[in-house]
Chains A and B, each alone.
Chain A
Amino acid sequence: MIAAHLPIQRPQQAKLLVIDARGDITHVPRIRFVDFLRNGDLVVANDAATLPASLQGAHLPSGLPVEVRLASRRSLTSDDVRHFSAVVFGDGDFRTRTEDRRPPPQLKAGDQFALGPLLATVNSVLGHPRLVELSFQGGVDEIWAGLAKHGRPIQYAHVAMPLALWDVWTPIAGPPVAFESPSAGFVLDWRTLLAMRASGVSVATVTHAAGISSTGDQELDRHLPFDEPYYISPATACAILRSRARCGRIVAIGTTVVRALEHAADPTGRVHAGYGLATQRINATSRLCVVDAILSGTHEPGTSHYELLRAFTDDETLSRASAELNAAGYRTHEFGDSVLVETGSDRSIIGPAAARR
């Protein structure tokens, strides 16, 4: 697929490939997404805003320039911004393909980075020369101020111009806890939110700290996604119950929502409100207990996002979809086109929700 190289969240010509419960494929302008929703459905999106998680600076022991990309933290608590895991690159920036980035200087526990106004210490190297756990020095307010002023959004070489936060915050972005944008949510402008409401479709959100999508190292990439903390409000848990009682479908906007909801669900499909740490991987062997459909970007086979789609439909259907995405010139990556995939016919959309689980 072609990489979408302009940071436009809702291009007029954006396309949507729809795989319905029977595995039939249709193509529509993405602006028609709402037409595929029904009265009683619940759309669940990730309202995490994106942290400016790329920090340029210096590795103090060597004096060499580095780019530190914050990659994960253990909780969403606003006080808890001292400790992060991070991927460290040598000199350079997003203009170089991640795979071609220079390695960082040799890192060891106790090393310090000067990152603009921030000072960080390596606590440990996490089994790979470019993956560390670090701690920022200073007060919590100072750390937030330093990140806000010095950090830039993490980005990749397929978008040539430097991204600003307004390029990567979805229209519904709230707490800045994601390391990369939960970009499936770009589709949700306020016109769409109001249109959904008018047609009896409810909207709820989870807050899920979407992690980084690539480290530039095949071995490290195999560990993606890292563990991701999330929060599901009582209102969202109630909205899911209500929608299921009305036989509505749960439509996840993005892979992070699937990961959070399925992690928080018990085997009966009841989603528990509260905080959690999503550690599981979703793939062809996963049984989805909550989510009935997903709106996501277009993904290449072999990526963790594509693996997640295999929980929704069979490989034959996904292969056909991949061929059609390529043939029809769909664009990929965060500013690209989208797919809407409904769970396969073994979880038929006909009949009360309770009966099919």
Chain B
Amino acid sequence: MRNDNEIDPFANLRVAITGGTSGLGLALVRELLGRAAQVAFVARGRERVQQVAQGTDAHGIVGDVSKKDEVYPVAVQIAGRLGGLDVLINNASDLGPTPLALLADTDCEDLERALATNLLGPFRLTKALLGALGASAREGCGAVVVNISSDAAIMPYPKWGAYGASKAALHHLSAVWNAELEPLGIRFLSLDPGDMDTPLHALAVPDCDPATLKQPEVAAREVAHAIALALPSRRSDRDCPPETAKMGGLA
């Protein structure tokens, strides 16, 4: 347990989470709100976005990051509403064909959709928000991009081809981003949260016993822990000096 006297590394941190209305994304929204972060989350369904935002300080954004034309409107709302950005969590994912199918039986359109959601969307959104993340890094707050990966990115599980190939590409993208931008203080993490009791997993493995799966709340705490380790240890020095706190988070 954290010592109550310690400053939570997430206090006032500006965090954006895609796919924030279900599963791991929703658990992350709740975990980080609970730790006093400023949270914006993105999801496709207006009603669910409103439900999740209701009664919280989170900023709900309706948008589909797999669609090229929706990425910048989402980025405007994230960077505008939070006044900048410290942490981006690319969590929204698409399984490919459901029920899962052998690659030989996978429609090209299903693979395209998985790539659009799991690879191109995170790439576009990260690019659009890289300036905000770079400013945060220069100001000593650290900047972290988390790309949610999967063991299917590494292991050739039959029937997980579209999902696994898109996650493998995302995993490698994270590694190259990190190698290129670490000198400027922007860290990229590719994290595998494990098999969780989420709507996505139920869609993939309908007859799985939920009791054998990790709870998304547990995975969300693990993701938060990994982010905290990637933030600069000196963050508390600059931790929202008075003149930056006024601005609704510009710094």
Which A positions have Cβ atoms within 8 angstroms of B?
A: 47, 49, 51-52, 76-79, 81, 140-141, 144-145, 147-149, 164-166, 169-177, 190, 193-194, 197, 203-205, 207, 231, 233-236, 273-275
Which one of B62, B76, B131, B251 contacts A231 once the chains associate, using CB atoms below 8 Å? B251
- Min CB distance A70 to B, Å, is 13
For A190, the chain B residues whose CB sits under 8 A away are: 130, 180-181, 184
| 4 closest A-B pairs by CB | A174-B132, A148-B73, A148-B76, A165-B72
User: Given known contacts A49-B131, A166-B72, A176-B80, is B138 in contact with A274 (CB within 8 Å)?
Assistant: no
For A235, the chain B residues whose CB sits under 8 A away are: 138-140, 238
Which one of B72, B76, B83, B135 contacts A172 once the chains associate, using CB atoms below 8 Å? B135
What's the Cα separation between A149 and B135 when bound, in Å?
25
For B181, the chain A residues whose CB sits under 8 A away are: 190
Whether B105 is near chain A, meaning CB under 8 Å from some CB there, is: no
For A141, the chain B residues whose CB sits under 8 A away are: 53, 59-60, 77, 81
Of the stretches B25-33, B209-217, B242-250, the one at the interface is B242-250
Which one of B53, B62, B135, B238 contacts A174 once the chains associate, using CB atoms below 8 Å? B135
The interface bits of chain B over 171-186 (1 if a CB of A lies within 8 angstroms of the residue's CB, else 0) are 0000000001101100
Assess whether A176 is in contact with B76, with CB atoms less than 8 Å apart.
Answer: yes
Assess whether B250 is in contact with A76, with CB atoms less than 8 Å apart.
Answer: yes
User: Given known contacts A141-B60, A231-B250, is B72 in contact with A175 (CB within 8 Å)?
Assistant: no
For B247, the chain A residues whose CB sits under 8 A away are: 76-78, 231, 275
What's the Cα separation between A79 and B81 when bound, in Å?
7
Which one of B132, B134, B241, B244 contacts A175 once the chains associate, using CB atoms below 8 Å? B132
What's the Cα separation between A172 and B128 when bound, in Å?
9
For B132, the chain A residues whose CB sits under 8 A away are: 47, 49, 173-175
- Min CB distance A240 to B, Å, is 13
What's the Cα separation between A118 and B168 when bound, in Å?
42
Question: What number of B residues sit within 8 Å (CB to CB) of A?
Answer: 41
- List 15 A-B pairs, Cβ < 8 Å: A49-B79, A78-B248, A78-B250, A141-B81, A144-B81, A171-B131, A173-B132, A175-B80, A175-B84, A176-B76, A190-B130, A190-B180, A194-B180, A194-B183, A233-B135
For A144, the chain B residues whose CB sits under 8 A away are: 76-77, 80-81
- Min CB distance A289 to B, Å, is 21
For B250, the chain A residues whose CB sits under 8 A away are: 76-78, 175, 207, 231
User: Which residues of B73-122 have CB atoms within 8 Å of chain A's CB atoms?
Assistant: 73-77, 79-85
User: Given known contacts A171-B131, A174-B131, A234-B244, is B83 in contact with A197 (CB within 8 Å)?
Assistant: no
User: Given known contacts A49-B131, A145-B61, is B138 in contact with A205 (CB within 8 Å)?
Assistant: yes
Closest to B72 in A: A165
For A234, the chain B residues whose CB sits under 8 A away are: 139, 238, 241, 243-244, 251
